[in-house]
Structure 1
């Protein structure tokens, strides 16, 4: 049996990971028809079917899964070997597509993209901001951003920012309803609930000394967008448990006040994540390195 070439194996891995000839062809810079012919030739050379093909989808066979599982670490080592010469090439180019919640996208724009533009000016960063959970691989993204606790274990996760939360409300609301002195007091207040992308309500977290508590808060208003939660608090609709980053402008202007100062509120660790079994393009590797160097607190 003739040994397959590295380009054949890379082509198979791209199609198997993307579950799409078109997306794999875009990544490899070749026509989908050429890629399809190359994969059929590989299957004939190996004497085994690697991919299930229909008019709407493509997926690895059992043999294809076994090959992809063994290829992953080898291709990653190959990628690391190529990275060793990157500093001598003098330039990193390409486009990386990222999927991130709107708050995380704002942090990327503030903290990561300026450094990317400075260090890797020829890399294009294409960010799609949406809060719902998606399959980043199936949707053709190179990487995604989510809280560390929400990232699947088979993904490579790189933390780059800590997002602090605070309870905030408008001065007018606090004058009318009073200032809560403990988390239990929130039961007597109108609160602005936060619905997570999966559908459940976010539990408000508090800590003081050795005392910790998590509260289920439904609230008179429930929203699935942290920016809208801040806007609702500014409008006097109640107390919001919001990222300090999202509320900072209104806190500085006096349109919001922070309450429950003596209770430490939650911190989310945001991370960039991508499949561990795929070859990491140089542009994405550069983005990962810049993100790791930021470690922002917001």
Structure 2
């Protein structure tokens, strides 16, 4: 796809973490961005408007609003989440949301769709929130509209809540993942960078889909990065899957991490598109991480 900067690029989920990163990357490149939001008056929406982003009402449950919001868009970015939030297990609701957004884009004649899926979605992982995205991917492939699929891996940003904890002056990272198995990870910022490149037509994704990661490390290597950043002693403890408090979705995901090749991003291919994709130490520096 060639760059079509004369028309706006529509972003669904623009007030969220990943959609917000896409907006940031597009604005940085001077693109005309149209944010599809459910509330025009929310604090996050207003902050986008203050940066020159056009706000347009859109609700995935309201096809009429979607059709109007996508009229004249040069490209469209969207992602899906379970309507009840992560952990709700609402796979069917997420699939319906994805189909509604895809149908609206096709009906509006949007020239290019970029769908933000998840690493491994196409490999029948059995993880509920991966399977829902696989089904959206399959639906998109049945459209006549050109589609690019991004498949990000584990977010470095998850370490804001899942990172190591101070224990008697030592940082201890505890995850339900056997040590010795490398976990691929990506900074949410870099999802935005790759998405913007696809939306603006400045990169060509071979085969129309790419798994994206910026680093890969074992539990001990992740803990070591935190220790080197903070200057503290750090170690890793592998937890049993049962530590995930009966969260079937999360248990399935970490079991998949441990029992299969799991994520399979080509880090070199990703850096061809996003040369400044962050490694874990670079993410720690960029976010100003401090132990707590």
**TM-score, with structure 2 as normaliser:** 0.29
Select the structure with the greater relative contact order (CA < 8 A; seq sep ≥ 6). 1
Taking structure 1 as the reference length, what is the TM-score of the superposition?
A: 0.29
- Structure number with greater Rg is 1
